[in-house]
A = this chain, B = another copy of it.
Amino acid sequence: MARLIQCVPNFSEGRDEKVVQQILDEIRGVKEVKLLDYSMDKDHNRSVVTFIGEPEAVIEAAFKATKKASEIIDMTKHTGEHPRMGATDVVPLIPISDVTMDECVELSKELGERIGKELNISVYLYEKSASSPHRENLADVRRGQYEGMAAKLKEDQWEPDFGPKELNEKAGVTAVGARMPLVAFNINLGTSDINIAKNIAKVVRARGGGFAYCKALGIEIKERNIVQVSMNMVDYTKTSLFRVFDTVEREAQRYGVNVIGSEIIGLVPMNALIDVTDYYLRLENFDTGQILEKRMME
């Protein structure tokens, strides 16, 4: 099977296309890595880059991009609306195909160590890679932002996982960590009553006692005169799309409302979809190695 991970680094430059292109060129230059997408936000002065590939190649590309960013972005001059602490602000590593979360955690540590040693940049491990529970949440790690990092790095509980305790002024601090892929999954309801969408969102989301790996909001889609349960599936391997779909449909029926459709926004791992087919057809002993496209990637 093709081992595949995704990397979605955020860089603190969203205005100068030339700077961003130089970073992208580092990624494009690594064979066996595919650059899928990038977006620049001028107000945030930040760009988000998506690429995938074999684990080792992805780590190499992430390192090279981080190195380049540290050379051409100067955090002492950075302004923007989005919270940030480094030229390469955050590097999430995401298992997609035939790679375990544990392997991604190991890879994040290798990458973090390399960034710390070779680039002299302080690194915090976050999410699944966090060395302590208080470092799991990126917002906590980044609190104080770039301007507060010189002091934060010296606090006992914020000693960096890799790299110096002294702030690299030009490059700032980088968070590296493994996390599951997010699947943005929205279910449209045949009503304009926002309260129905809000009530259903409450019962399906973890915070309301619903599914452990589902975040949900009820929102209006005014141009269609309908409402939507808008969700982030934060671990589709544990909370499946089909189970949430069936539950939303059943809840909607209590109000006499139909599910009129659903949407998957952006990229999605194949397995999140194949799981639905497997469930619906009650497949016995199906192996994704039977999928021709998957075999082609071997």
Contact = CB atoms under 8 A, between A and B. Distances in A.
Interface residues of A, number: 45
Contacts of A259: 282
A139 interface: no
B292 A6 contact: yes
Interface in A269-298: 269-270, 273-274, 276-277, 280-286, 290-298
A87 to B, nearest CB: 27
Interface stretch (A11-19, A67-75, A157-165, A260-268): A260-268
A241 interface: yes
B283 A262 contact: yes
A293 B294 contact: yes
Contact of A294 (B270, B274, B286): B270
B296 A2 contact: yes
A36 interface: yes
Given A262-B283, A268-B291, A280-B280, 7 more contacts: A52-B292, A242-B280, A263-B285, A268-B292, A269-B293, A276-B277, A276-B280
